[in-house]
Structure 1
């Protein structure tokens, strides 16, 4: 009985290790050989959000970046480089936010100026 309970879990792990393409291939094969299996896999992929999440292999690569190499000097260099890159990314994100804010302000100022000009044209002050 425990073999039956672990079989779906083992299949899920096997497909997860191979990525989203393996899930899609299994779903298509399910539709070809017995359509309810394909439909069930599609429903499971949507319900578990496997259709909408990034590939797990990318997450494994990111996890690998933090794994120790066994050489403390290299690990210190890698940690420092990753920290510096994260700081640069944060600085760039801040720059982009300031750029968007400045653009929004310029567009709003232009809107207010156009609105004021339109109000002055429709309601002359001397009349």
Structure 2
């Protein structure tokens, strides 16, 4: 006879597996699908269908952020002041993340411009050298 706690654990493994994959993002879902195709093709096909049906395949928000937002939406503390504070803090953190990603993008663009300018300067120096050599 299986204890009740073990039976509850057996029934909840799909939800735990889904949460585990959501925490790791889209690459984990794709890896699970590929492994499913390798092990037994209907499992991979079922995972692919589920990913398309649940919009995990094409959404940009699959991952820790969406898992966190679902967790926040489902687990209210019951204290309105704390829930407002938590929502405000999460909103502020998301804004900081967006600002930081924008900062990183500007850094990448500045580095790319610097590398391109160096390339063009080197190219103009090498282009002017053969002309000077031909005159001599």
Do they fold alike, i.e. is TM over 0.5? yes
Q: Counterparts in 2 of 1:17-96, with a 5 A limit?
A: 17-19=15-17, 38-49=40-51, 59-67=66-74, 68-96=76-104
| TM-score (norm: length of structure 1) | 0.61
TM-score by length of 2: 0.57
Q: 1:61/1:108 Cα in 2 relative to 1: closer, same or farther (>3 Å)?
A: closer
Higher relative contact order (CA 8 A, sep 6+): 2
Query: How many residue pairs are counted as aligned between the two chains?
Result: 101
Q: Aligned with 1:69: secondary structure?
A: coil
Which aligned segments of 4 or more residues in structure 1 are displaced greater than 3 angstroms?
13-16, 46-50, 52-55, 57-62
Structure 1 residue aligned with 2:111: 103
Task: Identify unmatched segments of 5+ residues in structure 1.
Answer: 1-12, 32-37
The two structures, once aligned, show a CA RMSD in angstroms of 3.5
Give, in whole Å, the separation in 2 of the partners of 1:58 and 1:95: 20
